[in-house]
Amino acid sequence: MGLTTYLKKRDFRKSPEPQSGKTNPKQLIFVVQEHHASQHHFDFRLEMEGVLKSWAVPKGPSMNPADKRLAIITEDHPYDYKDFEGVIPKGNYGAGKVKIWDSGTYTPIDTVKGKAAQEKLLLKQLKDGSLKIQLHGKKLKGEFALVKTKGMEDNSWLLIKHKDESPTTAKLPDPFSPMLATLHAAPFNDDDWQFEIKWDGYRVLAYVNDHKVDLISRNGRSYTKKFHPIAEALQEVGSNAVLDGELVVTDDKGIARFQQLQHWKTEADGDLIYYVFDLIWYNGKDLRGLPLSERMQLLKEMLPSDHPTIRMGFTIQGRGTELLDSAREMGLEGIIAKRLSSTYQSGKRSPDWLKIKTQNRQEAIIIGYTKKEESPKLFSALLLGLYKNGQLHYAGKVGTGFTDKQQRELMKQFKPLVVKQASIKKPSLRDPITWLKPVLLCEISYTELTEQGIFRHPSFKGIRDDKAATEVVLEKEPDLLLPDRSLKTVIKKVNQKELTFTNLDKLFWPEDKLTKRDLLNYYAQVAPYILPYIKDRPQSLYRFPDGYKGKRFYQKDITGKVPDWAATFPYRTEGDRKDKNYLVVKDEASLLYLVNFGCIEINPWSSTIKKPGYPDWCLLDLDPGSKTDFSQVIDVANLIHDLLESVDIPAYPKTSGSTGMHVYIPLGKKYTYEQSREFARVLVTLVQQETSRYTSMERTVSKRQGKLYLDFLQNRSQATLAAPYSVRPKPGATVSMPLHWEEVKQGLKMQDFNLRNVPALLNERGDLFKPVLGKGIDMMAALKRLQQL
DNA sequence: GGGATAA
DNA sequence: TTATCCCAACGCACA
DNA sequence: TGTGCG
Ligand SMILES: [Mn+2]
Ligand SMILES: [Mn+2]
């Protein structure tokens, strides 16, 4: 009998558990699929409780695909299948022989004749738990084994868990910290999840022993004395358990009141209730490895069903939307969603527990107000706006939450801001609108934001005067490509193409703790912004498979190395008798494919395959030398700007993300590379003459004497530069960031723009480089104007 | 990161 | 069977 | 015609 069953059958309230040294072996069997095997790795898939896990195991000496049959999977804590770490034991285990003994008789069972019979027997022994596994006389150290028998299908393995006992008898770590929930934007319905009310109180762990109860807060503070009625009640209810729950004070309507809890002194201050929602420990058994569903079952059996102060909170399976609605009706803070199969992950803010709020807070810009004709109020509703991609959008109207006094004060502030023209596209509203200059900020609460970006159920909370209106953007948790930090390999469809993302935990920037997963998430987030500048362009690959400090190499020819769906562009070098092929980015999938290949930076041509000889932009590359630095780059960039502005040539600057800056001039595919280069030469020559003290156009490094190099020669076919929004393989994961010319001034730092902050910045600023792909300049007219100078 | 090839 | 290798290149500027 | 350069 498994321990879980055993625990379930017990009535914990009636008699103490007998102390017994006997352990109950528990073994679990799963069929693991070998999904994709390369020369260097096995990729395993395991479908468990409806969730697909996958992980890569590097091939070691014992992992030949033809013959070797065994790998060991170990893990740190019991029963959490998401944290598999692939480990290949060193040494030679012979030609695929896994010796398997019957644990009772210790007779080898690998001598059974016939494949089918062998497999059948093995499975039987695994199922009834009578199996011990040894490798050449040595007991397996790991808690799991992957076993392949000769009778099994090629892509199937058996994963055997052969722990002696589960849950374990071990000391509870001290200090012990509770599992935490991740904030989640919207409710959902899913039968794999349980939903419960989020109570507004103190998170309290209760250590219940025979003669003593301790109530401990999340920060390790003792609440035993302060909330002694709860401690006393727990003492009656049970013993030898560690419970997790929320301690609340309810008002006369039964609603938890946080303020009242803070000031609670005696029973006259309100009714204390301890809502228990998890059982972590019972009679020396650590239950954290059990799935939530089983812990809940045990908890239900352990707690009395009708105790006035120690209660099990209400839970419902699958119907999150419904529960959030009722929580909102009741004026509660929100709900918690918990994955039924999840283990208790101490101290972790886990994606298996999600907090979903009934009320969200957001700042918004007041862009006007309406007034109903007949209304005695000064105004009926405020019109709200938000910036998205650098543009102001209508975000709904708020008609509640302000007092008459607040209305009078607001009207005073509105007076000097009244304008005739709307600052946005006019929403269709019945009541007459007074438009305001979009500078005033307010804070609102709301329940939901619609697809169109309109607040639902907004309520006014007050004026904000500590921020500029342009700083206000939607505080929305981005949907990440790879949100689950416990998966080391993920197979995912992007643009209808199946991509395998590997080695997601590999530290690409160890100092910044940034992983390959972070890099992929970054590019997925900025894909809409970067794609215009890399789509349909052949790519020069610069690969860093082991992170920015690791080995690196350039790659252009990808013939035969990329899947069929990847677009390519043929080329030849001198003496080639066959075509070589550039990789061409077409969509998010091909971009992410590159990134998974270890391409930290993206290096596209200046022209597309549609018109390969005609670049979209002309570029000036400002590279500081050994005796110059970024501050001179800023100076010379501004001089270039002044010059171009004086002759009416548009130009757009970006940091390079490395040491210098890039300036792009739109050409609109109208001129050849040679024309672009000669145009750049003219511009750079003019600027260099003015700044000869610290700039140079010399191709030979030594002749530059450490001066800043004005590089115009990259205006040439097949030459590449790091794309806008490209990350660079540099400390701090810097990004090549398009700027306003006003930002190009002393004090600007390369590190201001990096993998961590650029996605949010882009949401505010939009794509500043958009005009680079717009109408190209009239080069001849521009040259004529330059000549007049 | 992973296919090709030398040892 | 395992370890290592290999993954660009192009044309301009100056000697 | 070779070498450095990005
Ligand atoms: Mn540069
Ligand atoms: Mn350069």
A590: nearest Cα among A521, A547, A544, A527 = A527
Lowest mean pLDDT among A41-45, A422-426, A451-455, A638-642: A41-45
Q: What percentage of chain A carries pLDDT values higher than 90?
A: 51
A99 pLDDT more than 60:
no
The pLDDT of residue A172 is: 63
What is the Cα–Cα distance from A445 to A455, expressed in whole angstroms? Answer: 9
Structure-block tokens of residue A590 = 């091909």
DSSP classification of residue A200? S
End-to-end C-alpha distance for chain A, whole angstroms: 94
- Please check whether residues A422 and A504 belong to one and the same domain: no
> Residue A466: pLDDT band by 50, 70, 90 thresholds?
confident
A53 pLDDT more than 80:
no
Report CA(A378)–ligand 1 centroid distance (Å): 59
| pLDDT tens track for A164-204 | 334 444 556 666 788 999 888 788 888 889 999 998 889 99
Transcribe A360-373 into DSSP letters.
Answer: EEEEEEEEEEE--T
- Please check whether residues A155 and A33 belong to one and the same domain: yes
> Residue A472: pLDDT band by 50, 70, 90 thresholds?
confident
- Residue A722, amino acid: A
- Please check whether residues A299 and A346 belong to one and the same domain: yes
> Which nucleotide's C1' sits nearest to the alpha carbon of A38?
B2
Is residue A611, in this structure, part of any structural domain at all?
no
User: DSSP E strands: which ranges in A633-707?
Assistant: 652-655, 661-666, 695-696
How far does the CA of A624 sit from the C1' of C14, in Å?
22
Structure-block tokens of residue A206 = 């209760």
Lowest mean pLDDT among A112-116, A188-192, A483-487: A112-116
Output the domain CATH number for residue A658: 3.90.920.10
- Please check whether residues A335 and A377 belong to one and the same domain: no
What is the Cα–Cα distance from A208 to A243, expressed in whole angstroms? Answer: 8
- Please check whether residues A112 and A204 belong to one and the same domain: no
Lowest mean pLDDT among A493-497, A603-607, A771-775: A493-497
Instruction: Give the residue ranges with Cβ < 7 A from strand D.
Output: A 621, 623, 699-702, 709, 711, 714, 719
- For the segment A85-108, the average pLDDT, to the nearest whole number, is 33
What is the Cα–Cα distance from A688 to A434, expressed in whole angstroms? Answer: 54
| Nearest amino-acid residue to D3, taking CA and C1' | A700
Is residue A420, in this structure, part of any structural domain at all?
yes
3-state secondary structure A10-27: CCCCCCCCCCCCCCCCCC
The pLDDT of residue A83 is: 26
What is the Cα–Cα distance from A429 to A384, expressed in whole angstroms? Answer: 13
How far does the CA of A544 sit from the C1' of C8, in Å?
15
Report CA(A592)–ligand 2 centroid distance (Å): 26
What is the helix (H) or strand (E) element at residue A190, kind and residue range? strand A189-198
How far does the CA of A240 sit from the C1' of C11, in Å?
80
> Which nucleotide's C1' sits nearest to the alpha carbon of A56?
B1
Instruction: Give the residue ranges with Cβ < 7 A from strand B.
Output: A 38-41, 500, 502-503, 506, 516, 543, 545-546, 551, 553, 555, 560-561, 596-598
The pLDDT of residue A645 is: 96
Nucleotides of C under 7 A from a protein CB: 1-3, 7-14
Give me the number of domains chain A comprises.
Answer: 5
A494 pLDDT more than 60:
yes
Nucleotides of D under 7 A from a protein CB: 4-6
Q: Which domain holds residue A656?
A: 617-787
- Please check whether residues A404 and A505 belong to one and the same domain: no
| Beta pairing class for A349-357 and A180-184 | parallel
Predicted structure pTM score = 0.68
- Please check whether residues A346 and A430 belong to one and the same domain: no
Output the domain CATH number for residue A207: 3.30.470.30
How far does the CA of A550 sit from the C1' of C4, in Å?
17
Instruction: Give the residue ranges with Cβ < 7 A from strand C.
Output: A 39, 61-64, 66-67, 92, 540, 551, 553-557, 571, 573-574, 580, 674, 677, 681, 698-700, 703, 713, 716-719
How far does the CA of A59 sit from the C1' of C3, in Å?
13
Is residue A19, in this structure, part of any structural domain at all?
yes
Domain boundary among the residues A161, A189, A222 is at A161
How far does the CA of A40 sit from the C1' of C1, in Å?
13
> Residue A475: pLDDT band by 50, 70, 90 thresholds?
low
A153 pLDDT more than 60:
no
| pLDDT tens track for A234-256 | 998 877 889 999 999 887 766 77
For residue A699, which ligand has an atom nearest its CA? Answer: 2
> Which nucleotide's C1' sits nearest to the alpha carbon of A37?
B2
What is the Cα–Cα distance from A618 to A597, expressed in whole angstroms? Answer: 29
- Please check whether residues A353 and A366 belong to one and the same domain: no
Is residue A481, in this structure, part of any structural domain at all?
no
Average pLDDT, chain A: 81
Report CA(A657)–ligand 1 centroid distance (Å): 9
How far does the CA of A40 sit from the C1' of B2, in Å?
7
- Please check whether residues A685 and A760 belong to one and the same domain: yes
Report CA(A662)–ligand 1 centroid distance (Å): 7
What is the helix (H) or strand (E) element at residue A411, kind and residue range? helix A404-414
Catalytic annotation present for A253: no
The pLDDT of residue A778 is: 97
DSSP classification of residue A172? P
Domain boundary among the residues A332, A357, A382 is at A357
Is residue A172, in this structure, part of any structural domain at all?
no
- Please check whether residues A768 and A630 belong to one and the same domain: yes
Q: Are the C-beta atoms of residues A722 and A736 closer than 8 Å to each other?
A: yes
Output the domain CATH number for residue A431: 2.40.50.140
| Nearest amino-acid residue to C12, taking CA and C1' | A713
- Please check whether residues A145 and A21 belong to one and the same domain: yes
> Residue A220: pLDDT band by 50, 70, 90 thresholds?
confident
> What pairs with residue A159 in β-bridges?
A30, A146
Question: Out of A59, A148, A161, A198, which one is annotated catalytic?
Answer: A198
| Residues within 5 A (CB) of ion ligand 1 | A 621, 623, 656, 660
Q: Phi, psi at residue A35, to the nearest 5°?
A: -85, -50
* Cβ within 8 Å of residue A727, ≥6 positions away: A519, A522, A523, A600, A601, A657, A733, A734, A735, A755
Is residue A84, in this structure, part of any structural domain at all?
yes
> Residue A646: pLDDT band by 50, 70, 90 thresholds?
very high
What is the Cα–Cα distance from A789 to A785, expressed in whole angstroms? Answer: 7
| pLDDT tens track for A729-766 | 999 999 999 999 999 999 999 999 999 999 999 988 99
> Residue A662: pLDDT band by 50, 70, 90 thresholds?
very high
Cis geometry, peptide bond prior to residue A167 (ω within 30 degrees of 0) = yes
Q: Are the C-beta atoms of residues A427 and A396 closer than 8 Å to each other?
A: no
- For the segment A527-544, the average pLDDT, to the nearest whole number, is 97
Is residue A633, in this structure, part of any structural domain at all?
yes
| Beta pairing class for A695-696 and A708-711 | parallel
More confident call, A753 vs A306: A753
Burial A505-537 (b: 16+ CB within 10 A, else e): ebbbbeebebbbbbbbbbbbbbbebbbbbbbbb
The pLDDT of residue A65 is: 36
Residue located via tokens 């960039």: A637
Structure-block tokens of residue A103 = 């644990």
Structure-block tokens of residue A609 = 């395959």
Q: Are the C-beta atoms of residues A585 and A591 closer than 8 Å to each other?
A: yes
- Please check whether residues A92 and A62 belong to one and the same domain: yes
Lowest mean pLDDT among A337-351, A545-559, A748-762: A337-351
Is residue A329, in this structure, part of any structural domain at all?
yes
Lowest mean pLDDT among A283-297, A573-587, A762-776: A283-297
The pLDDT of residue A127 is: 55
What is the Cα–Cα distance from A42 to A34, expressed in whole angstroms? Answer: 7
